[in-house]
Amino acid sequence: MNKITLHKGKEKAAWQLHPWIFSGAIKNVDGSPANGAIVKVFNIDKEFIAYGVYNAHSRVAVRLLEWSQQHPVDDGWWRNRVQRAIELRTHLLTDQNDTVRLIFAEADFLPGLIVDKYGDFLSVQVHSSGIETVKTIIVEELVKLLQPKGIYERSDLNARQHEGLSDTNGLLYGEMPSEFVEVIENGIRYQINIVEGQKSGFYCDQRDNRSLTAHYVKDKRVLDCFCYSGGFTLNAFQAGASSVVSVDSSALAIETLHKNMALNGFDTTILTAVQADVNKYLRQLREEEEKFDVIILDPPKYAPSRSALDKAARAYKDLNRRALLLLESGGLLATFSCSGAMDIDTFKQVIAWAALDAGKEIQFIRQFNQPEDHPIRASFPEGEYLKGLLVRVV
């Protein structure tokens, strides 16, 4: 087996079970490992550290998998990891919820692999050359364990470019998902587009937060920004909101929202669905002197890396300032960031700056997190990406 030797002093994080070895930490590569090949990693004193997957194209040159030398990474190892990840989530699948993240990359010791269950179908994303190499094994195990109607791959991600991989979308097993697949979450039914929808088709990472936010909307006028297919909107209607204005720049999102409203039998006369740029629309609402009781901001990732954090902080501040201007005393803002580079303390500071610029005094009354099917490994804090705050205007 090919061997990787680390520079002196570069092994500390690996000993502490962090799964990434950066290219600059490598002293020697013995052999000629192909991208996606399993390698053994040693320190300068020739002590075994872990097995990992090698990729010469990536800044993360080795993704560590297994720290016990007695457990080599073979086909059985991959199958066991898939089995364990699914076992830990079976309790989340109920008659009120059939959409769950089954595998969450590094958190499940399967770096570069995302698997989401949407009703009878699975959506797969492959980010790394290591997973690409064993994709057939992964699919076989998923079929064996879950017997899905179909497995569709949505590997059209920037991360693949860094691994030397081209984008690939297509059917991996079974039947092709129809244009809209019906799922249920929090007792609410959704028609989602696996093939053409954003990311893997649906944002199941907001499941708990949608339910928590709904506790505050009864008889309230709600503004749901970046509504996508209506997760927060539909939970608000289920909880008794008096009206909801839902905004997204995507025509497909607005179309899907209308389908989901009809699917659940909600009163469409108290929904205003707007296809628009959210920032521009917030300015328009301000000019029209509109006010809301509850506003939800669930924007896309503004900070894909730490180098983008300063620019992202300004964007988050401006967005939240515009929303706060539409709230009176007692109004609530549920605001989120899915940027892993922004920690919760920084996010709180950004919201505080937004409130100051808006001339609002605020209180933080609840903190939101990602759900248990998106766990955070203690040795890999980078897996914590979703955070949110419930803010009350005083």
> Which residues are the active-site residues?
338
Q: What is the DSSP string of 31-78?
A: S-PPTT-EEEEE-TT--EEEEEEE-TTSSEEEEEEE--TTS--SHHHH
For residues 26 and 28, give the distance between their C-alpha atoms in angstroms, rounded to a whole number: 6
| Cα separation, 375 vs 367, whole angstroms | 17
* Three-state secondary structure string covering 281-325: HHHHHHHCCCCEEEEEECCCCCCCCHHHHHHHHHHHHHHHHHHHC
Distance CA 43, CA 14 (A): 10
Going by C-alpha positions, the residue among 225, 295, 234 that lies closest to residue 259 is 234
Residue 109 token pair: 């010791």
CB 319 within 8 A of CB 358: no
Question: What 3-state class would DSSP assign to 269?
Answer: helix
Residues 6+ apart with CB under 8 A from 250: 198, 228, 275
Write down the H helix ranges in the chain. Answer: 12-15, 75-87, 129-133, 135-146, 158-162, 207-214, 231-238, 251-264, 278-287, 309-324, 344-358
The residue among 182, 179, 123 whose CA lies nearest residue 151 is 123
CA-nearest of 117, 122, 129, 108 to 33 is: 129
What one-character DSSP code corresponds to residue 276? S
Classify strands 121-126 and 150-155 as parallel, antiparallel or unpaired: parallel
Query: Measured between alpha carbons, how far is 58 from 220 in angstroms, rounded to an integer?
Result: 49
CB contact at 8 A, 162 and 199: no
